[in-house]
Amino acid sequence: MNNGLKNKLKLLCEKNNEFSLENDKLWCMRCGQYVKVRENRFSSSIKDHIRSKKHESAKHGSEPRQISMFKVLKTCQPDNSKISEYSFDLTQMMTEVDIPLHKVNHPSFKHFMVKYTEKTVPDESTLRKKYVNLIYEEKLLLIRECVEHGKLYFLLDESTDACNRSVLSVMVGRLNGQPSKAMLLQLRVLDSVNANTVSQAFINALGLIWPSGNIQYENILLIVTDAASYMIAAFKNLNKSLLCHSIHVTCVAHAVHRVCEKIREDNKEVNKFVSLMKKILLKSKERRHLYKTITQLPFPPNPVITRWGTFIETVVFYLDNWTKIKEFINQILDDVLNVTELKLLMESETFLNEFMQFTDFRFLPGQITLLESENNKISDVLCILSYIRTNLIGTLQIKFDSCLEKNAGLDTICNLNKKLSYGTNLMYAPLVSVSVERCFSQYKNMLTARRQNFNFENLEKFVFIYFNSSVNS
């Protein structure tokens, strides 16, 4: 670009705040795109763009809709002349799909990229030190602009990672009467887990949205956590002081999980059967082959205690295929303790009575899946809870009621729903913390045994970029 054209562009940007000069190109902040300008047709090029349908429609919006990547780079990196868009995009792609950056140093990777892009691949350390923080800052800026002026909900949960650190996850989403996906805001290590540390970590996370310190507490309408005592205490204190307009709800899916746990605890013989079946199939290739030959079924699902309803799903699998499962067990000739116990248990009247009861529980996993679904309306979630309660009997219904009675925020939501007075903002408000559970699953998948020397500050940025991969300008 010659100096004459560059000076004209600078003058235009000074007079019209809809344009900025980015990387020696004219950037339209309304349309979110570069504008092609010829020096011999300078005025007409600008007028043609301003009169275009895209610019006219964008002009009716209150704010520019997109952010220039290079504007972010300028704020993050003083020496922006050394920033490469190719390296930036390569780093962003690899972190968003969880490809370790050290892969760029592999000869085959370098050869492929040079062959098909004709660009030299930077070293891993260059990408990590120079570009990861830029991508993190860009996504944080996008999240901030998305949520800072609207009504919001927050999801919080704490978990212990493979390095024995207590990690708090804070997520944020919009409440605007439309389905809104929660975005990861912060991961924070807690030195000790109590109401005070959770409260302080939450306030610190709010500072990422409102860095000026002018936190708009009145825009925070809903907080969803688990039912841990320190979470309840933390937000009971905050609701009295700062979050006067907020409703604190404990995840309703956890109440259903408690019912599933009670079912497992009350049916000890069935629990023992599931455990023995897992052992005899796990420790012998011969038995696994015999199982496939006789039953022609897939292997039974393995229940995971921390995954809601998987125990019931496993028992229902055995119940639906009982004839074939029973034939397989009788065909096992091994005289080992687990097989002997399994054969004796299979003939037990207590076991059979417990086993047949699970016909009444098969609806629970499906209802949990519905609760976990994104884009549920509040009215839909309340209907699911009502259906679950209606189909539970005896002590299970008492357990379910007991869990919901402790959820004071849910009573507030129910009363608002009856009066239809919660307005459109809360129509799609989440009453489950499934998104934050999924975030922790991705975090733990990323923190493999080979990556446990990962500096936590860098790890947080990688998880932040990976989980928020759908957040783009």
Q: What is the DSSP string of 110-159?
A: HHHHHHHH--PPPPHHHHHHHTHHHHHHHHHHHHHHHHTTS-EEEEEEEE
Whether residue 203 lies inside any domain: the answer is no
Q: What is the rounded distance in angstroms from the CA atom of residue 41 to the CA atom of residue 29?
A: 21
Same domain as 126, residue 42: no
**Domain end residue (candidates: 325, 343, 361):** 361
Phi, psi for residue 268 in degrees, rounded to 5: -65, -35
pLDDT of the chain, 473 residues: tens digit per residue: 577 777 888 788 777 777 777 666 787 777 767 788 877 778 888 888 888 877 777 666 544 444 455 455 545 555 554 678 889 999 999 999 999 999 999 999 999 999 998 888 899 999 988 899 999 999 999 999 889 888 999 999 999 998 999 999 999 999 988 888 999 999 999 999 999 999 999 999 999 999 888 889 999 999 999 989 999 999 998 888 888 889 999 999 999 999 999 999 999 999 999 999 999 898 788 999 999 999 999 999 988 877 778 999 999 999 999 999 999 999 988 778 888 999 999 889 999 999 999 999 999 999 999 998 888 888 899 999 999 999 999 999 999 999 999 898 888 888 776 655 556 678 888 999 989 988 998 899 888 888 888 889 989 999 999 999 988 75
36 and 94 co-located in one domain? no
pTM, full prediction: 0.78
What CA–CA distance (Å, rounded) separates 387 from 392? 9
Same domain, 88 and 18: no
Same domain, 264 and 347: yes
Looking at the structure, tell me whether residues 76 and 55 fall in a common domain: no
Query: Which residues lie closer than 8 Å to 191 by C-beta, 6 or more apart?
Result: 166, 197
Q: Are residues 97 and 42 in the same domain?
A: no
**Dihedral over Cα of 429, 433, 434, 435: its sign:** positive
Cα–Cα distance measured from residue 277 to residue 38, given in angstroms and rounded to the nearest whole number = 75
Instruction: Look at residues 207, 227, 239 and name the one whose alpha carbon lies nearest to residue 404.
Output: 227
Tokens 């978990």 correspond to: 159
Query: Is the distance from CB of 101 to CB of 94 less than 8 angstroms?
Result: yes
With respect to residue 324, please indicate whether it lies within any of the assigned structural domains.
Answer: yes
| Same-domain check for residues 110 and 29 | no
Exposure of 192 in the CB half-sphere (CA atoms within 13 A): 3
Among 130, 153, 168, the domain-final residue is 130
**CB-CB contact of 68 with 20 (8 Å):** yes
- Total domains in the fold of the chain: 3
Q: 124 and 30 in one domain?
A: no
Residue 304: which domain range? 259-361
- Whether 255 contacts 407, CB under 8 Å: yes
